[in-house]
Structure 1
C-alpha cells in the first residue's frame, strides 16, 4: 500500500540557455519507472477538475508544462495538496493513491507519464471502493 509520503516532487535536469531552457526525462533514471504511455491535459476550465481516481498498479509522473494547478493526494488515511507550476519539477504518484487535479489556471498544460499502457481494469473510480481496498492493504 502506498502512502502520500511516497508521492515525491522530483526536480528534472534543466539546461539554461539564453535562447530558452530545456528539460528532459529519462524513464528509470530521472523517474522511478519506465515510461509506457504519455498523455496531456489542456483547455481544462478553471472550475473543473481531472483525475479523481486511483490506480491499482500504475505509477504516474505529472508535470505542469504551462500555467499551474493543484494535485490533491489521498492514501485513505492522510491527505495532502501539491501545487505544480514549474516545467522542470514533477510529481511521482505511486499506485493506490487517490489523485485529483484541480484549480487549473487558464492555459495550463499537464503532462502525464505512465508506467503502463491504458488498462481500464487498473482504475479505481469509486472513492468508497478505494477506501475499502486501502484499508485492506
Structure 2
C-alpha cells in the first residue's frame, strides 16, 4: 500500500441495508492491535496534529464527514475528505496529520497496528521535520 493511499473497501449491497468490511491482509496491510474512534467533535475543532514514529493507521468515516490534512516536512498540505464508510485512508508511520472540518455526528474510526505508546507520538513539527530529513 502506498503512502496516504485511499482504500476502497468491499461493499455488499442488500435491500435491507448494505454491509462493508475489512480484513487483514486483503484491505489492510497490517494486523490490527488497537481500535479507537473520534466523535462529538465541536464545530471548528481540530483533532490530531502529530505523527507516529512506528504506528500505521487506517482511518474510516463511519458516519458524517471530515478532512484528513497531511503536512509534508516542507509544509505542503494534502487534504483528503472522508465521507463514505466504504472508503478508508492509509497513513504509514511518520505521517504528520490532523483532522478537521467535522460534520455533525461525524465518527472517525482509527485502526492501528500498535498498542498505545505515548513515546511513539511526535507532537512537535520541528522535531518531525528533523527526523524525516535526518
> Which TM-score band (shorter chain)?
over 0.9
Which position in structure 2 is the counterpart of 1:94?
92
User: How much has 1:127 moved relative to structure 2?
Assistant: 1.1
Instruction: Write the distance in 2 (CA, Å) between the matches of 1:29 and 1:16.
Output: 19
SS in 2 for 1:87: coil
1:37 aligned to 2:25? no
Worse-matched range after superposition: 8-17 or 22-31? 22-31
Aligned to 1:133, which of 101, 107, 131? 131
* Residue pairs, 1:30-109, within 5 angstroms: 30-77=27-74, 78-109=76-107
Aligned alpha-carbon RMSD (Å): 1.0
TM-score under structure 2 normalisation?
Answer: 0.95
Instruction: Write the distance in 2 (CA, Å) between the matches of 1:75 and 1:61.
Output: 18
Which position in structure 2 is the counterpart of 1:120?
118
Stretches of structure 1 that go unaligned for 5 or more consecutive residues are none
Stretches (4+) displaced over 3 A: none
Which position in structure 2 is the counterpart of 1:110?
108
Instruction: Write the distance in 2 (CA, Å) between the matches of 1:54 and 1:61.
Output: 14
Alignment coverage as a number of residue pairs: 132
Contact 1:66 1:85 in 2 (8 A): yes
